[in-house]
């Protein structure tokens, strides 16, 4: 049985138990595996970034 024919639920369980680095490595293994794990990766490894556009130019900010 090819690995990509593994049920989606099993792939979900595997991906949910990996850290971000291991998840990225697993997703690079093959295109079908990348596609099958995308929804789990999106929900666990990506953060929402908000961008506020203003009319002001960018300035250097010293920490």
Higher pLDDT residue, 40 or 45? 40
Sign of the C-alpha dihedral, residues 35, 51, 45, 39?
A: negative
Cα 49 to its chain centre, rounded Å, is 14
Share of the chain above pLDDT 70, in %: 63
Task: Give this prediction's pTM.
Answer: 0.57
Give the span between the Cα atoms of 6 and 49, in whole angstroms: 33
Neighbours of 8 (CB within 10 A): 11
């Amino acid at each position: 049985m090819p690995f990509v024919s593994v049920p989606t639920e099993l792939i979900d369980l595997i991906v949910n138990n990996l850290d971000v680095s291991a998840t990225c490595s697993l997703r690079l293994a093959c295109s079908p595996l990348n596609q099958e794990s995308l929804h789990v990766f999106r929900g666990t490894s990506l953060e929402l970034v908000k961008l506020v556009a203003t009319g002001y130019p960018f300035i250097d900010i010293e920490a």
